[in-house]
Structure 1
Amino acid sequence: MPRARVVHVMLLLFVALGACRATHNITAILADHRDLAEFGRQLTATGLADDIDGRNTITVLAVDDAHMAQLRARGLPREALRHVLSLHVLVDYYDDAKLHRLPGGSAVVSTLFQASGDAPGSEGMVKIAVRRGGRVAFVPQDVDDARANVFYVKSVHEAPYNISVLQVSAVITSPAAEAPSSATESKPNSTDASSKHGPPNAGAHAAPSPVGQGSSSDDGADEGKKSGDGGDGGKKNGASVGAAPRGLPFALAFLMAASVILVVNW
């Protein structure tokens, strides 16, 4: 087979590989902006940074350190904090130019809060609206437009149509995002579990658990899984935040197999 054909096939394979993988790093992008350092740290702490880097088309609405300090002072549980921050991640590309040419002056966009399956109904959607004087506002679906006080400030980073980072004037939040996780509410504590599974002396003659009294290895595994995945909100109804990117290895394998077949036939 001519060497030129082999080279051509290999080039196609490398191009396909590059197209299948997101090339941005939100942590590195935010590291260049000191006033957004706390926002970047919380994206990493809640696991959202990995979700952002795993998507090929994304818009991040960054908040400065002063407003992040106000959010941290409220002492929200980790899962609620993750939900609030996920409202700042739009699963579509918007840059400065696109914000100012919205059809009809508004658009409703899905966020990672919605895409994860954690948001009830459409409450994980955010409305982008151009106000009087050209100011662009961001309003969660379950918040009254009249109370909207989060506005576009400036563009921080644009890489069409891969990732855009836009600074906003305050934290975007909603009652649905701050609500306690339903899974956390429904999970019984160790005392409730022991009372439901038998009388207090039911395990008196059993061998002691290596994990510790009042807990089980299954519970420990569940907790480990939650801490690693950023809470049980990562998957619901068969959907996950990183569902699209995780399917890419199969597509890549298919492309490689097709290339091998072409090489053999030639």
Structure 2
Amino acid sequence: MAPKIQVVILLLPFLLLSSAVAFNITAILEPFPEFATFSNYLNQTKLVHEINHRQTITVLVVDNSRMSAISSLPEESLKHVMGVHVILDYYDIRKINNIPRKSFILTTLFQTTGIATNRMGFLNVTHKAGESVVFGSAVRGAPHTSTLIKKVVAMPYNISVLHISEPIIPPGIDGAPHIAPISSLPKETEPSAETPEVEDAPTESPEEDIVDAPANAPGESADTPADSPEADEPASDASEGPSISRKKVFHASASTSLRSRLSIGAILGLVMWIVFL
């Protein structure tokens, strides 16, 4: 008997530790009938077993009156959506409020399935003005409208159950194609501010455009280009020709008058010399 007692005493700390870590999400939600539909969906999709085998978890629950938004989903899509409401870490209201970043991303149970695409397995948490906190899918363009209401249960640091205002349904999680709204597109892909001008362009008179274009072309072809090398050379020759000929005529006439003056002077000098003699 003594050896058995010793074995039990040795295993007691481990048994106490395991019992402290283990929890049952169904038993936790049972005292809250307003979350009965949410609890039933966890059982229906067999997510209870996965949740109970986690050591640290946060479950975002929605009350019965707001669960109609996902009640018509196919079984597989319903399981995926319910998995989005299970965060793979412990977050109570105090821990969320103490996170310095205005917006941050959390990993959900759906991400562990390996089939989550387009960031469907992540949640975006944002601190809004007035100290409110909103949850939404991390899919680009997804709405962030699920507001944190209150704490339901907190067992630091194993499980936290938080009440949110409405289900979080990532766009496209049901297999339907998702097109991000224009406001969520990168700035370089958004329509530019000049788009209205492009739309107004057809209202301008097309005749003016047609007239302006040909009017310039014939003018340019008819006029000799100012920078045309072929046009420069003849122009310079033609302009220099008359000036050169005028210079030659001037020099010729000047030399002729000089010679005539010299001849007259020589004759007068000879006559005066004869008269002097």
TM-score of the two chains, using structure 1 as the length reference: 0.60
Cα 1:154–1:143 change in 2 (3 A) is farther
Q: CA deviation at 1:140?
A: 1.2
User: Quick one: structure 1 residues 143 and 32, their matched pair in 2 at CA, closer, same or farther if it must change by over 3 Å?
Assistant: farther
Deviation at 1:109, TM superposition (A): 1.1
Cα contact 1:62–1:166 (8 A) shared by 2: yes
Asked whether 1:117 is paired with 2:114, we answer yes
Does residue 102 (structure 1) correspond to residue 99 (structure 2)? The answer is yes
Instruction: Give the residue type in structure 2 aligned to 1:177.
Output: I
CA spacing shift, 1:49–1:100, aligned 2, 3 Å: same
How do 1:7-156 residues align onto structure 2 when only pairs under 5 Å count? 7=6, 10-20=8-18, 22-72=21-71, 75-120=72-117, 122-144=119-141, 147-156=143-152
Deviations, residues 75-97 of structure 1 (Å, cap 9, x unaligned) = 21101000001100000000111
**Runs (5+) with no aligned partner, structure 2:** 177-277
Q: Any idea what the Cα deviations from partners look like across 1:54-94, whole Å, max 9, x if unmatched? A: 1110000000101112321xx21101000001100000000
Indicate the residue corresponding to 1:167 in structure 2. Answer: 163
Task: Note if contact 2:118-2:139 (Cα within 8 Å) is conserved in structure 1.
Answer: no
1:117–1:12 distance in 2 versus 1, CA, 3 Å: farther
The 1:20–1:106 alpha-carbon spacing in structure 2 relative to 1, beyond 3 Å, is farther
Equivalent AA in structure 1 for residue 147 of structure 2: F
User: What is the alpha-carbon distance in structure 2 between the residues aligned to residue 124 and residue 162 of structure 1?
Assistant: 21
Shift of 1:18: 4.3
Given the superposition, is the C-alpha separation of residues 15 and 142 from structure 1 closer, same or farther in structure 2, using an over 3 Å criterion? same
**Structure 2 SS opposite 1:171:** coil
Q: Give the TM-score of the pair, scaled to structure 2.
A: 0.58
| Greater relative contact order, per chain length (Cα 8 Å cut-off, separation 6+) | 1
Runs (5+) with no aligned partner, structure 1: 181-266
Distance in 2 separating the partners of 1:160 and 1:176: 34
**2: CA distance, partners of 1:25 / 1:31:** 10
Q: Is the 8 A contact 1:142 1:176 kept in 2?
A: no
Higher helix residue share: 2
Q: 1:105 offset after TM fit, Å?
A: 2.8
Amino acid at match of 1:69: S
Partner Cα distance (2:103, 2:164) in 1: 17
Matched position secondary structure for 1:144: coil
Offset of residue 11 of structure 1: 4.2
